[in-house]
């Protein structure tokens, strides 16, 4: 069973997915790179192709707190105000867990 990814790891994979589809991607874009309505937010990823703009973020369920949900709502509203822009949110498992320790139990064989 694969172990959950961190938000950053999943964001990198998402950027690679968009690149395979022909988008130019920027992880954690600087304020100056973002359209004005988004400059007050911390954005995980933007993907651009032709006139299309995708604003994306990855959050754990744990980070979808009331304050986090409000922030996402504000980002989504700001993206809606931009032409040809969409907002995508990827929600992943709460935490990255270490693999369980390997335990070996010796059983005697008796025919």
DSSP string computed for 12-53: HHHHHHHHHTT-EEEES--GGGS-GGGTTS--SEEEEETTEE
The confidence score (pLDDT) of residue 61 equals 79
Please give the backbone phi and psi of residue 51, each rounded to the nearest 5 degrees, phi first: -95, 0
Which whole number is the average pLDDT over 99-111?
52
pTM for this model (two decimals): 0.77
3-state SS class at 7:
helix
Q: What is the pLDDT of residues 44-82, one digit of tens each?
A: 999 999 999 999 999 887 777 756 677 888 999 999 999
**How many residues are present in the chain?**
111
Q: What is the pLDDT of residues 11-47, one digit of tens each?
A: 999 999 999 999 999 999 999 999 999 999 999 999 9
The confidence score (pLDDT) of residue 1 equals 39
> 77: which 2 tokens?
């509203």
């Amino acid at each position: 069973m694969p172990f959950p990814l961190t938000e950053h790891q999943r964001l990198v994979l998402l950027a690679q997915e968009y690149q395979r589809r022909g988008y130019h991607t920027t992880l954690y874009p600087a304020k100056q790179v973002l359209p004005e309505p988004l400059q007050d937010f911390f954005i995980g990823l933007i993907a651009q192709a032709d006139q299309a703009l995708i604003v994306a973020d990855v959050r754990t369920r744990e980070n979808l707190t009331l304050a986090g949900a409000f922030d996402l709502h504000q980002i989504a509203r700001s993206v809606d105000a931009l032409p040809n822009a969409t907002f995508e949110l990827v929600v992943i498992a709460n935490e990255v867990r270490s693999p369980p320790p390997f335990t070996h139990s010796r059983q005697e064989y008796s025919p």
